[in-house]
Amino acid sequence: MARILLVEDEENVRLLYKQELEEQGYEVLCAGDGRTAVKMAREMCPDVVIMDINLPERMDGIESMSRILSHSKDTPVILNTGYSEYQDSFMSWAADAYVLKSADLEPLLEAIRDALEKRSQARE
């Protein structure tokens, strides 16, 4: 079972995504801010990180992603945000995927499957 670290500051969104991802068979760890996400990524070694960009506590998703990747550069990170303007920013290029938040979770689920497949192939 793949372990996902879900980083989302909006509690209702976090709970919805957690439930949907668990129904898909994933183990889901949750963080509500960037600092907690970085700590959890180091301690729990997730297979994929799903990262919101706008986060509280003076560490946004881009900085959190950078810190996670500096510690574990083979961990896939999927940016999941409601803001399309960050998609063309070079700061988001380190992410494995960029998915806009939507009521339809299929694009996010597809990005997770792709990230896990790439990670599996890289380990072979």
With 70 as the cut, is the pLDDT of residue 37 above it? yes
Question: Which class is 3-123 in CATH?
Answer: alpha beta
CA angle, 110 as apex, 16 and 84 as ends, to 5°?
75
C-alpha–C-alpha distance, residues 5 and 36, integer Å? 11
pTM: 0.91
Q: Quote the tokens at residue 44.
A: 């729990």
- The whole-number average pLDDT for the span 48-75 is 91
- Residue 112 vs residues 47, 53, 74, 75, 82: alpha-carbon distances, Å: 10, 17, 14, 12, 18
Pick the closest to residue 3 from 69, 51, 65, 47 (CA basis): 47
The helix (run of H) or strand (run of E) holding residue 77 is strand 77-81
With 90 as the cut, is the pLDDT of residue 92 above it? no
- Mean pLDDT estimate for the chain: 90
Per-residue model confidence as pLDDT tens digits over 80-90: 988 666 556 65
